[in-house]
Structure 1
Amino acid sequence: MLFTALAGGMGWGIRGQYGHETGAMLAGLLVALVLVYLFGYHLSSFSAARAVALATVAIGFGGSMTYGQTLGLTQDAPLIGNMAALRWGLLGTFIKGSIWIGYFGLFLGLGLGGKKYTMVEMALALIVAIFLLYLGIFVLNEPFDPASKKLPSIYFSDHWYWEPEETLKPRREQWGGLLFALCWLIAYTGFIKKDLLARNMVLWGMLAGGLGFFLGQCVQAYHAWNVDWFQVSWLASFEPNINWWNMMEITFGAIFGCVMGPFGLWCNRHHIATNSLEEKISLEYKTELSLISFPYCSTCNLEFYVFFHV
């Protein structure tokens, strides 16, 4: 618990210096390395590296989601005291955090489990996931026409509903697409392939991400709502020097790592593959390269979609 929490807290704290997909991958790498070291020590170096690589790339998917304005609903000065905006913003952080770490748990489970996937199976599953990515954006994240003040009905960023007189710059959200794709991958791995480790780890990942992002933002929002108290409390001398955004990130990462380690992977350790140290590579290098390149292609697809529709 301690080591995974420290890895997550440090990784997510550093992540804030980079942001987006690559920043998230740094935190994912540190947590995955600790988890595989603790629970996959019996695996070959190839199997361990594959699990870490899959989890690291997967956590980058969530980095494509916008969330700065979602956090703003809970702490921006004009909204301080607005409990409805606070609740809505925290709900958004829980949903986005769940999706974010859900991908990490899913691909970590794929890498550590003993279930075999053929190249054709993986390709078909991921092609369907890309289709559902765009479908989810269309269903849950449209319409998006800020010039006409037309925004999705479920929208967790700046909205004139909360600040009708303000000049806002709403951001395009794509959490709906990532959610649709994740649900399909859960169904495919858990019910079609019956990959118990992948299925269980994605659920633990969603819990870890939801709680981590929610509670982390609670820390930052509490400060924003109670600045006067902090300035006269025993924290008064420290308060001006504390980066409360980093406090949110560190809390998020620490909870994410804490839940995924002793609760997520430890509870499912009996589903981890029992490969011997002499395991041989069963996939050709072309297949490995194809699997590695796919997440990057998916991220590029999403980014180009957002670019051409803003």
Structure 2
Amino acid sequence: MRVWDRVGRSAFVACAVGMAWGIRGDYGHVIGAMYPGAVLGLAWVFVAGSSTLRSRMSVIAALTAAGIGAGGQMSYGVLHGYAQADTLPNYAYGFAALFLQGGCWGTFGGGLAGLLAERRAVRTGDWVGLLASVVLGGWLAPALLVDAIGFHINPPRNNIAVAFLGAALGQFAWLAWTRRAAGLRGALYGFVGFGLGMAGGRLLGNAAVHLEVWGYTINHWNVMEITCGFVGGGVFTYGMLGLGRVDPAGEPDEFRLPAVLGAVFVLGVIPAWHRLTRVPEKVAGWGATLRELGHADGLAGTVLRGTDAVCVAAGAGAVLWALALARGWRWPAALPVIGLSVAMLVFQNLTALYFWRPARPGYLDTQTGFWILFAFVLAYPILARPRERALVEPERPVRWGRLILGTAATLGVIVALAGFTNGERTMRTANTRWPVWSWNDGPFPGSRSKP
């Protein structure tokens, strides 16, 4: 595969997941993270060029949705506060912790996707072994670090991230022990990609705060979120292209029912779940906001009906996709990722009242950026027309030295650049661990910085 072809395919996934992760910020937690997780699986399978993977697309997307969605249980707001501090020990710790936590977001979805790209089938015993390793690691890490040693990652918040890190190590150990090359590669590139994406996104978010010097403002959290998804999706895909089973002819029928159920979940359930669990808490504020913007009182009801219409349309798409899978029909491989992307993009724009908010001078609206990313997602399959590859490269081993050194060097550069981006402006929303301090506690002890 030529370099530019590889870059183009990776950029397609990066834009799709970057937009999805930015939208995730509006909804949060497990269900919010399931959307970019599903998009990662859909987009990667589309550009992978493997007919066998394509027949498993919905199953892979459901697994990546579950794997990445599980990360929504972790608390990470205070870690971002540390990375916004203006003292080296605090922001170095913050960026390192964000790298580890971002890696825990991405590694499980990446590992599951890689497992389904293995030439060797994954049997029931394999799933049991993997689950046992993850559970054991998830129990052992907090038992040692939190209970025995007394280490807390972001006091006073929870230590679930420590359990996730232990679970990730358990996953790595099982994949390496059982010689699951594609699964291990997916887990590693998912960890590195989303880890660097989270840390690098925080750095860009810190830098974005300084736009006010030129009279511009932007939501620095959205900058971080978009960057996390963009880098995570792009790095994972670049590392995973060329993997996949060689012979698609022997695909067993046992995957047909899971594929149908996966299609219903990814395109039908995920948008509807957002509607049922995340929209009701927003409706109360819509009326007041729309009145302040000069709109009629009944518009809030129209917005709510609009979200219902999006869910109905997505559900119809899920039924059509499931029918195609059940009948064994061929279908355009780009449609699921485009369909889920446009459904959730319009859904988010409705719930954020984007269509009714006037432009504000000097405000850079990241929701407009979502449309720019989606434009690339829509244009790439039409203009590039990536071809399927009848044969794929053998499962190549991970170059551990290059991966570790490159990752450490990149993280080091991020920490070094934070010395220039962090200061009085970032301290306005910062936290520190040494001493324990939050921006709403008043001026930082011993510093002239003001919140």
- The interval holding the TM-score normalised by the smaller chain is 0.7 to 0.9
Q: Which of 97, 101, 105 is the matching residue for 1:100?
A: 105
1:63-74 alignment runs, 5 A limit? 63-74=72-83
Corresponding residue of 1:171: 157
Pair 1:219 & 2:204 matched: yes
Q: In 2, distance between residues paired with 1:140 and 1:278?
A: 47
Equivalent position of 2:116 in the other structure: 111
Q: Secondary structure at the match of 1:117?
A: coil
1:101-140 paired onto structure 2 within 5 Å? 101-140=106-145
Number of the residue aligned with 2:168: 182
Query: 1-side partners of 2:77 and 2:195: how far apart?
Result: 16
In 1: Cα distance, 2:53 partner to 2:225 partner: 33
What residue in structure 1 maps to residue 96 of structure 2? 91
2:23 to 6, 14, 17: 14
Letter of the 1:35 partner, please give it: W
Specify the SS of the correspondent of 2:253.
Answer: coil
Label 1:44 to 1:205 Cα distance change in 2 as closer, same or farther (>3 A).
Answer: closer
Match of residue 245 from structure 1: 221
Deviations along 1:84-126, one digit per CA (max 9) or x if unpaired, are 2111111110111112211121111012222222213312431
1:205: which partner in 2? 190
What is the Cα deviation at residue 172 of structure 1?
A: 1.0
1:62, distance to aligned residue in structure 2 (A): 1.8
Select which of 239, 250, 256 maps to 1:264. Answer: 239
In the TM superposition, what are the counterparts of 1:37-48 in structure 2 within 5 Å? 37-43=46-52, 46-48=55-57
Q: Does structure 2 retain, via aligned residues, the 8 Å contact 1:100–1:209?
A: yes
Please say if 1:231 is aligned against 2:217: no
Deviation at 1:284, TM superposition (A): 9.9
Distance in 2 between residues matched to 1:257 and 1:218, nearest whole Å: 18
The answer to which of 125-134 and 274-283 deviates more is 274-283
* Letter aligned with residue 59 of structure 1: I
Structure 2 counterpart of 1:232, one-letter code: V
Contact 1:139–1:176 (CA under 8 A) maintained in structure 2: no
Partner residue, 1:307: none
Distance 1:39 1:283, change over 3 A: closer
**1:157 aligns with one of 154, 157, 162:** 154
Aligned to 1:273: 245
Q: CA deviation at 1:38?
A: 1.0
CA contact (8 A) 1:4 1:35 kept: yes
1-structure distance, mates of 2:29, 2:247: 35
The 3-state SS of whatever aligns with 1:272 is coil
CA distance in 2, matches of 1:277, 1:200: 25
Counterpart CA distance in 2 for 1:265 and 1:128 is 23
Q: Tell me how far 1:247 sits from its aligned partner.
A: 0.7
Kept after mapping to 2: 8 A contact 1:52/1:111: no
Encode CA deviations 1:167-201: one digit per residue, 9 max, x unaligned.
xxx11112222222222222222222x11101111
Structure 1 residues 187-238: Cα deviation after superposition (integer angstroms, max 9, x where no partner): 222222x1110111111111101110010011222345xx4xx3332xx1x3
Tell me, yes or no, if the aligned pair for 1:48 and 1:112 is still in contact at 8 Å.
Answer: no
Question: Could you tell me how far apart the structure 2 residues matched to 1:82 and 1:251 are?
Answer: 24
| Shift in alpha-carbon separation, 1:85–1:50, aligned structure 2, 3 A | same
Partner of 1:298: none
Between stretches 201-210 and 118-127, larger displacement belongs to: 118-127
C-alpha contact (below 8 Å) 2:118/2:245 kept by paired residues: yes
CA apart distance, 1:69: 0.8
Cα offset for 1:15?
0.4
CA distance in 2, matches of 1:104, 1:223: 30
- What is the letter of the counterpart of residue 231 of structure 1? E
Shift of 1:22: 1.4
Change (3 A) 1:142 1:34: same
Distance 1:17 1:177, change over 3 A: same
Q: Compared with structure 1, are the counterparts of its residues 11 and 141 closer, same or farther at alpha carbon in structure 2 (3 Å cutoff)?
A: farther
Structure with greater Cα Rg: 2
d(CA) in 1 for partners of 2:129 and 2:183?
Answer: 18
SS of aligned partner of 1:282:
helix
Is the contact between residue 202 and residue 224 of structure 2 (CA under 8 Å) also seen in structure 1? Answer: yes
1:31 to 27, 40, 45: 40
- Once the two structures are superposed, residues 151-176 of structure 1 have per-residue CA deviations (whole angstroms, 9 ceiling, x without a partner) of 942x3324xxxxxxxxxxx1111222
The one-letter code sitting in structure 2 at the alignment partner of 1:247 is V
1:141 paired to 2:143: no
Instruction: Rate the CA distance shift 1:190–1:131 in 2: closer, same or farther, 3 A.
Output: closer
Distance 1:45 1:9 in 2: 22
Note if contact 1:89-1:156 (Cα within 8 Å) is conserved in structure 2: no
My pick for the range that moved more, 10-19 or 20-29, is: 20-29
Alignment partners' CA distance in 1, 2:144 and 2:255: 37
TM-score in terms of structure 2 length: 0.52
User: Identity percentage over the alignment?
Assistant: 27
Q: What is the RMSD computed on CA atoms of the aligned residues?
A: 2.5
The answer to whether the 8 A contact 1:71-1:217 is kept is: yes
TM-score by length of 1: 0.74
SS in 2 for 1:136: helix
